[in-house]
């Protein structure tokens, strides 16, 4: 497939903003000698005003964003003007579309590729949906599919299969408006599982077929990679926060204590020793901290396990109904903060009947141990996209159309494309 072009960042910096339900994270990076991002500054803040990946309180979300970005800028010793942001809400949906343009038997050139990609990107969906990605998956020459790079070939018709990802227009507008209110320009929007895959997958996994499952606090999203490209994305509205809520309701304990109990004692797989291990559970509304229920750990696992089983069963059904289950192969990579719960890997392997591994950012230099785990894969992947991904979003302002200003310029471009 055509090699991705690297985009030269302004003032030598690239910035990524991971806006999640439980945390907001800002990465600022410079380009290392090997071409990979090297972290210069990190800001990390509890998320406010966000639920299930979507903005629900503009003021609170803006304040959290400003605080996060300011901390990253102070650490980097520089300011940023634009950022690449993630999208985990807005019900992202993907489809594959085919587009063909006439070439009239001549040699395929760069402007032909640009023309067919632009035509694919302009396919109109529903009015209430916004185009997020239009990614060329494979090209075809006169109906012969599987062409990696058609340039230099002769053909009557040039076709392309494009993976198109759309999301609810309102959710996208709220997200970009919130970022713009922080005096930042959203340079690109990337769906979370795509970014997590860019950060944590090795090249062989991308080529042979793999499913990335990004387990956040509000949503669990998935992306299927094959032949070096993302070919399918989807999400289910269940995440780690739902497990915490289940614990808080089931054990009548405050949310903060429920999160602590989940982190310290939670597991997805039951063991015989669970009956003998006793957990102290503070009660809602009790002023005295000494008043707490004592329950066996098996009750906690009886709350955690069904919710995560449901999550993976929903992921499995989405994969099967999409038709990409076979293409995805038997490989699964888990990312996101909720994937760090004990036993998640084993439960995923059991429910999905696939080989499962934990994904960590591998394409970014300078991440500390605290920020180098699965919870920060999306943020790291946004940096990789900032360098390599813009070639996958054809815009009329780029390429040959950038020079087609004025009436004569447009006539010259039309003649060049058609003769």
Domain boundaries, the chain: 93-167, 203-361
CA atoms within 13 A on the CB side of 209: 9
CA-CA-CA-CA dihedral for 403, 82, 20, 95, to nearest 10: 0
**What stretches of 316-394 adopt beta strand conformation (E)?**
331-335, 355-358
d(CA 176, CA 180): 6
Distance (Å, rounded) from C-alpha 291 to C-alpha 17?
42
Distance CA 379, CA 192 (A): 9
Task: Give 275-316 pLDDT, tens digit per residue.
Answer: 999 999 999 987 766 678 899 999 999 999 999 999 999 999
93-167 matches 203-361 in fold: no
Q: How far is CA 18 from the centre of its chain?
A: 9
Instruction: Please tell me the predicted confidence (pLDDT) of residue 375.
Output: 95
More confident residue, 119 or 283: 283
Structure confidence at residue 319 as a pLDDT band (50, 70, 90): very high
CA-only gyration radius of the chain, Å: 23
pLDDT tens digits for 142-172?
888 888 888 889 988 999 999 999 999 999 9
10-19, 91-100, 300-309, 393-402: range with lowest mean pLDDT: 393-402
CATH number of 93-167: 3.30.1490.110
**Tens-place pLDDT, residues 326-359:** 999 999 999 999 999 999 999 999 999 999 999 9
Q: 79, 107, 87: which is closest to 13 by C-alpha? A: 79
Class of domain 203-361: alpha beta
Q: Which pLDDT score is estimated for 223? A: 96
In order of 279, 297, 311, the CA distances from 293 in angstroms are: 8, 12, 29
Q: pTM score, two decimals?
A: 0.89
Q: Quick one: what percent of the chain has pLDDT higher than 70?
A: 88
H-assigned helices in 229-324:
240-251, 255-265, 297-322
Query: Which residues does 9 contact at the CB level (< 8 Å), separation at least 6?
Result: 31, 386, 387
How many angstroms separate the CA atoms of 359 and 348, rounded? 14
User: pLDDT by residue (tens digit) across 65-95?
Assistant: 999 999 999 999 999 999 999 998 889 989 9
């Amino acid at each position: 497939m055509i090699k991705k072009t690297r985009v030269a960042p302004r003032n030598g910096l690239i910035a990524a903003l991971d806006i999640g339900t439980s945390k907001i994270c800002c990465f600022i990076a410079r380009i290392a000698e090997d071409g990979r991002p090297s972290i210069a500054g990190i800001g990390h803040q509890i998320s406010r005003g966000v639920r299930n990946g979507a903005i629900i309180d503009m003021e609170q979300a803006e304040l959290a964003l400003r605080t996060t970005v300011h901390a990253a800028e102070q650490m980097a010793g520089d300011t940023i003007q634009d950022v690449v942001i993630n999208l985990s809400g807005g019900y992202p949906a993907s489809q594959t579309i085919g587009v063909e343009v006439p070439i009239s038997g001549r040699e395929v050139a760069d402007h032909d590729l640009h023309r067919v990609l632009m035509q694919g990107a302009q396919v109109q969906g529903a009015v209430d949906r916004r185009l997020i990605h239009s990614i060329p998956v494979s090209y075809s020459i006169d109906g012969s599919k599987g062409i990696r790079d058609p340039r230099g070939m002769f053909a009557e018709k040039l076709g392309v299969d494009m993976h198109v990802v759309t999301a609810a227009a309102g959710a996208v507008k709220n997200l970009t408006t919130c970022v713009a209110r922080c005096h930042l320009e959203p340079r690109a929007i990337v769906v979370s599982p795509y970014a997590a895959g860019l950060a944590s997958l090795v090249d062989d996994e991308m080529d042979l077929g793999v499913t990335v499952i990004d387990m956040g606090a509000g949503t669990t999203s998935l992306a299927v990679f094959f032949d070096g490209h993302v070919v399918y994305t989807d999400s289910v509205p269940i995440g780690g926060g739902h497990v915490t809520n289940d614990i808080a309701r089931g054990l009548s304990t405050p949310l903060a204590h429920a999160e602590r109990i989940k982190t310290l004692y939670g597991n997805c797989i039951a063991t015989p020793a669970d009956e003998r291990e006793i957990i102290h559970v503070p009660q809602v509304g009790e002023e005295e901290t000494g008043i707490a229920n004592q329950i066996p750990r098996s009750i906690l696992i009886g709350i955690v396990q069904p919710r995560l089983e449901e999550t993976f069963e929903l992921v499995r059904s989405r994969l099967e109904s999409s038709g990409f289950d076979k293409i995805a192969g038997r490989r699964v990579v888990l990312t996101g903060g909720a994937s760090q719960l004990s036993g998640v890997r084993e439960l995923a392997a059991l429910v999905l009947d696939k080989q499962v591994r934990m994904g960590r950012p591998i394409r970014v230099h300078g991440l500390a141990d605290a920020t180098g785990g699965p919870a920060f894969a999306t943020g790291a992947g946004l940096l990789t996209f900032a360098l390599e991904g813009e070639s996958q979003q054809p815009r009329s302002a780029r390429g040959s159309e950038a020079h087609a200003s004025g009436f004569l310029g447009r006539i010259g471009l039309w003649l060049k494309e058609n003769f």
